[in-house]
Structure 1
């Protein structure tokens, strides 16, 4: 039982369950899921659907953090991707043209991949610290998104594009299907193949990995490019859900939520190991927390404070040192102090 309690995902799972139960108190039939017009509807479905972009961004962030890096530019890439896709679709003579929409989507994803690779080049090729390299694109990218949209909100009326973030397929929201496919592919590549071990080895000790014959630069380029691609898909989902692109507000602060989701999921910021399932759980906690804030009527001006408080509690509960001190008392540290003092006396 104690081993189960020490599992890194135990406390995040408890917090998620507590948040869901709290919503049940304020929202009748919160756990009910029904089919209307051939589509699944319900609060639980909405949490996963609205949390899908965050899950995607957090998956890419997980691999970047596993290498000991960070990517602060994902919010800007989200805005750029949605802005470019909506701009191309708005220029189409027929916005419902599947070929035209597909071309716009491919162009937006290709640019997102290039932007992610650019971050990787700055980090792996030039040697710039990840936080600085991605901060450059974080600032410049938001300006690029504004340049693409000309400072305006671009609206589109395209049924094929609407499918990405706001449509349904096989009774499920299409965004959930995209997330499931990306998660399955990522898990296969990192857990069934040697790629995951390469990423963890680079994050644990890049120099030792290089001496062992691993191309650390190649691994870093790949994970940053993948992170950019995930952010690009998330940008398409966000913009298609509202059928518009806002270069200023789209994806704003999503990089912070993604980092929190990764940390809550048990992936250390120092790198060396990662947990995809933990990241998904962390993203669901953040999205459920957002839903809970609206359900219990927290004033909008205190929303971020309430969110930070809950995240802090989750991180503290995950800390073995904190749990040891709070739940098991201070017997071990105090008993160790006299021994240390005695050893210092003998040495003197």
Structure 2
């Protein structure tokens, strides 16, 4: 005779349903599943995708390429996550990338200062860009999409002015070693870009979760008036996240310029702001602000990069690749919607009733 009573059976069943509800209701469940599906596709149709080889103590392979090329997307997505969490958006990160690369290339070709001259200049550029966006949004109450659109347009013009509207190519001089290392160096067997974004992600995550800043950001995004009434300096929080987003864009710009050994202001950072927004939304952070997930944004950025690498490996032309990419984004966003999942459950229930 079984010791289980009907009540205990019902309780276990309820607990199982509750666990499933929590699992499928999590913000990062669907991007993780999406990434798993893409990786499964590669395992079946492109087995070489998972091949790793060691050359001169360094790892090479498609998975390493995903991490390396996805570093810019992850870094931009981190800054964009905090901006979106406050209810804003930053369309200027691509232009800030172009400015960063232009400054670096100009210093390397016109001086012998190397990174000693680059670092303070690009940090000043990040501070200026972030303050401009933050002040326009926080104090002048301009809609974030308009405020950052101003720098998106003018910033690329500034970058062209810095370079004289031409591509500045950086040579292989010895004082350019550290600049080259940013985009093409290796550390612990992995591309340095991987170490860079992992370190930035870890520091940012600890800072927003181990201090009150993360709570302030979510509070401002969820209800700006209530957060101000509770003593939070909402304007300061907004300015801080826009400065951080610009800082992330500067790092991404240095990586991009280092990868090609040049400052190409026409192409540097083009559409990267859209990819960053896609990664944040796919990662489960709502555009309306409030609660955010840096981990979700990281997974979202890796999902998009893995998908694009898969498409290129499979021979999909670059002008066609954005189509399946957009379909995956739409699918993940729909599955994250409680309303859409509820409709699917109702349809499944009707089908089962027949």
Q: Answer yes or no: same fold by TM over 0.5.
A: yes
**1:273 aligned partner:** 291
Any unmatched runs of 5+ in structure 2? 1-18
- Deviation of residue 54 (structure 1)? 0.8
Cα offset, 1:52, TM superposition: 0.4
| Distance in 1 separating the partners of 2:131 and 2:268 | 21
Q: CA RMSD in A?
A: 1.6
Q: Shift of residue 23 of structure 1? A: 2.6
In structure 1, which of residues 97, 121, 126 is the aligned counterpart of residue 135 of structure 2? 121
Would the aligned equivalents of 1:31 and 1:42 in 2 still touch at CA under 8 Å?
yes
Residue 34 of structure 1 deviates from its aligned partner by: 2.7
Indicate which of 16, 20, 41 corresponds to 2:35.
16
Q: In the alignment, does 2:182 pair up with 1:174?
A: no
| Contact map agreement 2:27 2:285 (CA 8 A) in 1 | no
The aligned counterpart of 2:150 is 136
Deviation at 1:161, TM superposition (A): 0.7
1:119-158 Cα offsets, whole Å, 9 max, x none, are 0011112111111100000000111111111121111123
| 1:314 partner SS | helix
* Pairing partner for 2:104 from 66, 82, 85: 85
TM-score by length of 1: 0.90
Q: Does 1:193 align with 2:211?
A: yes
Q: Which moved more, 1:231-240 or 1:84-93?
A: 84-93
Q: Structure 2 CA distance, aligned partners of 1:82 and 1:139?
A: 16
Alignment partner of 1:302: what SS?
coil
Aligned length: 327
After superposition, residues 1-348 of structure 1 pair within 5 angstroms as 1-2=19-20, 3-93=22-112, 100-157=114-171, 158-329=176-347
C-alpha distance in 2 between matches for 1:22 and 1:105: 42
Pick which of 203-212 and 66-75 moved more.
203-212
For the structure 1 residues 138 and 291, does the alpha-carbon distance in structure 2 shift closer, same or farther, using more than 3 Å as the test? same
Write the distance in 1 (CA, Å) between the matches of 2:345 and 2:39: 25
> Deviation at 1:65?
0.3
List per-residue Cα deviations over 1:4-53 (Å, max 9, x = no partner). Answer: 23322122111111112223344342212232111121211110111001
What residue ranges of structure 1 are gaps of 5+ in the alignment?
Answer: 94-98, 333-348
Q: Is the 8 A contact 1:56 1:231 kept in 2?
A: yes
1:330, distance to aligned residue in structure 2 (A): 7.4
**Are the equivalent residues in 1 in contact too, given 2:114–2:179 (CA < 8 A)?**
no
How far has the Cα of 1:298 moved from its partner? 1.9
Per-residue CA deviation, residues 252-286 of structure 1 (Å, 9 max, x unaligned), is: 00000000000001000000110000000000011
Tell me, in whole angstroms, the C-alpha distance in 2 between the residues paired with 1:212 and 1:265.
Answer: 29
Does the 8 Å CA contact 2:71/2:194 hold for their aligned counterparts? yes
Q: Normalising by structure 2, what TM-score?
A: 0.89
Over 3 Å counting, the alpha-carbon distance change for 1:136 and 1:161 in structure 2 is same
SS in 2 for 1:213: coil
Distance 1:330 1:169, change over 3 A: closer
| Offset of residue 331 of structure 1 | 6.2
For 2:319, what is the secondary structure of its paired residue? helix
Aligned partners of 2:45, 2:103: CA distance in 1, in Å? 40
- 2 CA distance for matches of 1:280 and 1:328? 32
1:225 Cα deviation from its structure 2 partner: 0.3
Quote the Cα distance in structure 1 between the aligned partners of 2:193 and 2:168.
21
Give the deviation of 1:114 after TM superposition. Answer: 1.5
